A and B are shown apart, each in its own frame.
Chain A
C-alpha cells in the first residue's frame, strides 16, 4: 500500500524568501507523484507532476519539485514566494492501475509581508 507524509502542517515564510514544502512517500512499486494547491473555498489545482524521466520537475507559478527515489521524497520548492502563494499544498501519490490518489495531510503555506 502507498502512503504520503507531509512533514510540516504549517510553514510561515516572509515574502520574497525561498520555501521548501516536504513530502515523503512509501510504496513498494513505481509511483507517480503530484503536487496540488488549494486556495480557500476552491478545489485543487495541479501545480506539477512526476511521471517518469527527469527528476527535476517544473510547474506553474514558479514552483519546482525534485523526485528522489533513494530518499522516497518529492519536495516542492519556490525560490521567491509571493503573498498570493498563501494556500494549502497537497502532495499525492498514485500507481499504475489503481485509479486513485493517496493524498498527504497538506501543508498550509502562510506568506508574510
Chain B
C-alpha cells in the first residue's frame, strides 16, 4: 500500500499570504490528523477529521483551518501567515479500530514564511 502523501513538500510564502497544504491518506484510512512541528514547541496537534467531520481540534488560532473530502483526502489552510507559522506540517492517517488508532505519518510539508 502506498503511504501517506503530502503536497507540496516545500513551500515559501511571505507574511500575510495564505497557504493550502494537501494530504492523501493511506488507502482505506478515513481519519486524517494534522500536526505542526517546530524546534521551539515540538509536535502540536492541529485537528483531526473523520468522514468529513472535525472530531477534535488543538489550541491554534482560527487562521488555521482544515477540511476533509469524501475520498478522505484532507487539506489544511493557514490564512494571514505569520513568521511563527514557519514549521514542518505533518499529516497522519489511521484506520478506525474502535479504540486506539495507530497513526501513520507522511513526510511533511516544510513551510517557510518570510
Contacts and interface: CB of A to CB of B under 8 A. Distances in A.
A44 B33 CA distance: 13
A28 interface: no
A43 B106 contact: yes
A32 interface: yes
B100 interface: yes
Interface stretch (A19-27, A54-62, A64-72, A101-109): A101-109
Interface residues of A, number: 23
A44 B101 contact: no
Given A44-B90, A102-B45, A96 B56 contact: no
Contacts of B44: 103
B102 A34 contact: yes
Nearest to B108: A43
A46 B108 CA distance: 15
Q: From B4, B33, B100, B107, name the one whose CB has the most chain A CB atoms within 10 angstroms.
A: B100
Nearest to B58: A100
B104 A46 contact: yes
Contacts of A105: 42
Q: From A44, A46, A106, name the one whose CB has the most chain B CB atoms within 10 angstroms.
A: A44
Interface string A35-78: 01000011111100101000000000000000000000000000
A69 to B, nearest CB: 16
B4 to A, nearest CB: 8
Contacts of B56: 98-100
B55 interface: yes
B99 interface: yes
19 contacts: A34-B102, A43-B4, A43-B105, A43-B107, A44-B90, A46-B102, A94-B101, A98-B56, A99-B48, A99-B50, A99-B55, A99-B56, A99-B101, A100-B45, A100-B48, A100-B56, A100-B58, A101-B35, A103-B44
